[in-house]
Amino acid sequence: MPESNHTYAVTLTDLSKRFGDFVAVNRVSLDVKKGEIFGFLGPNGAGKSTTIRMLCGILPPSGGSGTVAGFDISREAEEIKKNIGYMSQRFSLYEDLTVRRTSTSTAVSTAFRRRRSGSGKSG
């Protein structure tokens, strides 16, 4: 019996990303259940970071489909960003900051921008 999409935190079907003629991600399909821990392993250049960036709504896919937290990665990237956390391995605004201090700085900056723009939303 197939499981409902409500069971999955992430679903991907034939997800692909091309940069010109270069295929960075080639038809990845997977399902990650809610509460499951999942990771990508592979050599440099295998498409791990590109796949994660598509899942986070940072980079649009070239083909295929997927959802994260019930949101479509092609059409609802902004909703995905509002509902997940992502810290790039290569994030280096200030290289001497810890992950905690970088996260706090980002949160404070985001709250400031929201207050300044008048949205007043805290989350």
pLDDT digits (tens, 9 = 90+) for 79-121: 999 888 877 766 555 667 777 877 787 777 777 667 777 755 5
What pLDDT, on the 0 to 100 scale, is given for residue 120?
Answer: 55
Count Cβ neighbours within 10 Å for each residue of 68-81 and write b for 16 or more, e otherwise: beebebbebbeebe
All structural domains of the chain, each given as residue ranges with its CATH number in brackets, are 5-85 (3.40.50.300), 87-123 (no CATH)
How high is the mean pLDDT of the chain?
84
Q: Are 64 and 15 in contact (CB under 8 A)?
A: yes
* Tokens representing residue 23 in the block: 């295929």
Q: Are 67 and 10 in contact (CB under 8 A)?
A: yes
